[in-house]
Structures are given as structure tokens and as C-alpha cells.
Amino acid sequence: MINTKTLSRRALVTGVTLAAAAPALAATSAATGTTSIAKLWAEAQALGSQLATHRSAITAAASNGGIPGWMRLGGEANRIAEARYGKLIQILNTPAKTAGDLAILGKVSQDEDILSGARSWASERLASAATSLAA
């Protein structure tokens, strides 16, 4: 069961942090594709595109709920999805340098695979990155 009170507080803290960081983020260069996070995001996107051929198998495997469907599969689908998930975790572990990085961190923290597992940790990483850029 999900504790909606806790999730609401986390969402509020993240929102307040992002609002406080807005002036600093506006002054930061939003260059995309040049930072470590942007490069990792491009790699994750490419791996996500490769998963398109396995989408129906992943969806069918996820019907039992709990964990992402690709974790229940073997072979190529699991290999690609595991590599993509690894890229998402690398993104969350990489310090944000620009507003573009922060936007990518926001997308990663809302990714279906992250929401299925490391949701709280991802939200904390996003809030920490926003605070660091605001400083």
C-alpha cells in the first residue's frame, strides 16, 4: 500500500525546492547534449528505442504487477532494458551542471521503471540537484 501522505510531502518538498531554484536555473546555460547527464540520457533514449520490438512481451510480463515486466524476461529484452535502467541510475548519480540536466533528472525521476522501484530515492536526488544548482 502506498502512503499518499508521505508522497504528498515529498512532492511538496520537491516543488518548493524547484521553485526556490528557478532564478539560478534561469541564469544557467541550458545546453543539451554536452553534459554527462545529457549524453547518458541520449544513450538511455537509444536503448529505449531498441525496446520497441519487445514492448508487447514486456507489457505481458508486467501484468502480474510489482516489478517491471522486463525484469521477468530473459534474452535481448532483459539485456537492453537492464542497460537502459543502468543509464537511468547513472543519470541520478551524476551531479547536475545545467538547467537542462535538471530537466533530464525530472524526466528520469518520473520514468516508469524508476517509479516502480527507486521512486523516493530519485525524488531525493532531483531535490538535491535543484538545491545544488540554486546555491
Confidence of residue 35 (pLDDT cuts 50, 70, 90): very high
Give the highest mean pLDDT range of 21-25, 49-53, 55-59.
Answer: 49-53
Average pLDDT over residues 67-74: 81
pTM: 0.69
Q: Quote the CA–CA distance of 20 and 72 in Å, as a whole number.
A: 41
List all residues 6 or more positions away from 130 whose beta carbon is below 8 Å from its beta carbon.
Answer: 14, 17, 18, 20, 21, 25, 96, 102
Confidence of residue 87 (pLDDT cuts 50, 70, 90): very high
Q: Quote the CA–CA distance of 24 and 26 in Å, as a whole number.
A: 5
| Residue 65 confidence (pLDDT) | 67
Between residues 75 and 22, the one the model is more confident about: 75
| Residue 124 confidence (pLDDT) | 85
